[in-house]
Amino acid sequence: MTTIKRVGLAAACASALVAGASTAIQINGAGATFPYPIYSKWFAEYNKLHSDVAINYQSIGSGGGVQQITKQTVFFGASDMPMTAEQLQSAPGKIMHFPTVLGAVVPVYNIPNVNTELKFSGPMLADIFLGKITKWNDGAIAKLNPGVSLPGTDITVVHRADGSGTTYIWVDYLSKTSEEFKKRVGVNSSVNWPTGVGGRGNEQVAALVKQTPGALGYVELIYALQNKISYGPVQNMSGELVKASVESVTVAAAAAAKQMPPDFRVSITNAPGKGVYPISSFTWLLLYENPKDKAQSHVMVDFLKWALGDGQKYCAELGYAPLPPDVVKLELAALAKVKTS
């Protein structure tokens, strides 16, 4: 009697285990911190629709994301900067880039007793971050801001100390608008800053700018809004002064969609066109074209279709700009190439 019970129990346990394994799918990903809020929102919402799918995401940084997917320790990666040709070559298979949302980086400043909104241009910002413009009443700043009584105080440049996609977007823009900046500093997630102080994370840069009179720094749009720090419009390629907003960032992406390379590895800073905010960028999800685990691949493709469609409605509340429809169309076509069986 007891042996029969035991055998029965064991069989029940075994079948429960098998059933558990066949229904629940767990997918692991890692990478950029910038899209972490929207990714975790997406994974939670997607889990509500498909209770058998759990997607884990570790926001360890873009560099970490690229490394982890190259070593295949995670199923998908995420990065704020496209992978370089070298990095792609060192991967064991073909890695595809999928833009998921857009972000903007804004110049934030703190000048006591100036209530007018300051206007910026790429070359002017580049000269400030090169340490060539050191006073607020410099001719280059005054020229773009007629009628504003600028103080003769020092500019305290605040930049990111930690390696970050935000820095990448910022220096990518400055390098496109200033030859000298490109030569002396260049483009990377952390660079050799000629001047200024470094803060850790968007939060600290925001805090430092807020408490230091005469400071000028750069943060992602959402941090400027949340911390109520002044940020100004930036001159785009057509000479318009555009302030960063969800709309002006999406416009920048739509302008870029016309010349989108098939692998989506594109920088949209300083994009041409009307109404474009020039310091905008995609953030990418990285997937192998032919992953080993086809069950996970099937789910991931379905998830991305949802994220690029219904998922985009969560963008605005979290401070991201949604993808323009043209880009989504191109991405869905590319997504069909990912092998799911």
Partner 1 sequence: MTERSRDLTFRIGTGAVALVVVLIVLAIGVELTRQSLPSIQKFGFSFWRTEIWDPVAGEFGALPFIWGTLYSSVLALLISTPIALGIAVFISELCPAVLRQPLVFLTELLAAIPSIVYGLWGIFVLVPAVRAIETSMPHSLRQLPLFTGPPLGLGMLSAALILSVMVIPFTSSVSREVLRSVPIAQREGAYALGATRFEAIRAALYYARTGIIGAIMLGFGRALGETMAVTMVIGNNPRISTSLFAPQYTIAAVIANEFTEAADQLYLAALVEMGLVLFVITLMVNSLSRLLIWSMTRSLAPLQEAAAGAPAGGAAA
Asked if residue 187 binds partner 1 (CB under 8 A), the reply is yes
| In the complex, least distance from residue 296 CB atom to partner 1, rounded to whole angstroms | 24
Asked if residue 177 binds partner 1 (CB under 8 A), the reply is no
- As a whole number of angstroms, the distance between CA 58 and CA 63 comes to 13
| Total of chain residues touching partner 1, rule CB under 8 A | 34
Asked if residue 179 binds partner 1 (CB under 8 A), the reply is no
Nearer to partner 1 by Cβ, of 75 and 193: the residue is: 193
- As a whole number of angstroms, the distance between CA 108 and CA 220 comes to 10
Nearer to partner 1 by Cβ, of 79 and 248: the residue is: 79
* Cβ 271 vs Cβ 252: under 8 Å: yes
| In the complex, least distance from residue 142 CB atom to partner 1, rounded to whole angstroms | 21
Asked if residue 226 binds partner 1 (CB under 8 A), the reply is no
Asked if residue 58 binds partner 1 (CB under 8 A), the reply is no
Asked if residue 91 binds partner 1 (CB under 8 A), the reply is no
* Cβ 183 vs Cβ 128: under 8 Å: no
Distances (CA, A) of 308 to 39, 89, 315: 12, 27, 11
Write out the E strands in the chain: 25-31, 53-58, 76-79, 95-110, 156-160, 197-199, 215-220, 230-231, 234-235, 241-242, 280-288
Distances (CA, A) of 155 to 219, 245, 331: 17, 26, 43
Candidates 48-56, 124-132, 195-203, 300-308; binding stretch for partner 1 (CB under 8 A): 195-203
- As a whole number of angstroms, the distance between CA 19 and CA 340 comes to 22
Binding to partner 1 by CB under 8 A, coded x per residue (else -) over 103-132, reads ------------------------------
Candidates 43-51, 156-164, 255-263, 280-288; binding stretch for partner 1 (CB under 8 A): 156-164
Nearer to partner 1 by Cβ, of 199 and 278: the residue is: 199
Asked if residue 296 binds partner 1 (CB under 8 A), the reply is no
- As a whole number of angstroms, the distance between CA 98 and CA 334 comes to 9
* Cβ 157 vs Cβ 129: under 8 Å: yes
Asked if residue 189 binds partner 1 (CB under 8 A), the reply is yes
Asked if residue 154 binds partner 1 (CB under 8 A), the reply is yes
Among 25, 91, 197, 260, binds partner 1 (CB under 8 A): 197
Asked if residue 29 binds partner 1 (CB under 8 A), the reply is no
Asked if residue 164 binds partner 1 (CB under 8 A), the reply is yes
Asked if residue 145 binds partner 1 (CB under 8 A), the reply is no
| In the complex, least distance from residue 214 CB atom to partner 1, rounded to whole angstroms | 9
Q: What interhelical angle do 36-49 and 294-308 show, nearest 10?
A: 110
Q: Tokens 């991201």 belong to which residue?
A: 320
Dump the DSSP string for 218-274: EEEHHHHHHHT-EE--EE-TTS-EE---HHHHHHHHHHHHTT--TT-----TT--ST
Nearer to partner 1 by Cβ, of 185 and 271: the residue is: 185
Binding site for partner 1 (CB under 8 A): 60-64, 66-67, 87, 154, 156, 161-165, 185-193, 196-200, 204, 207-208, 211-212
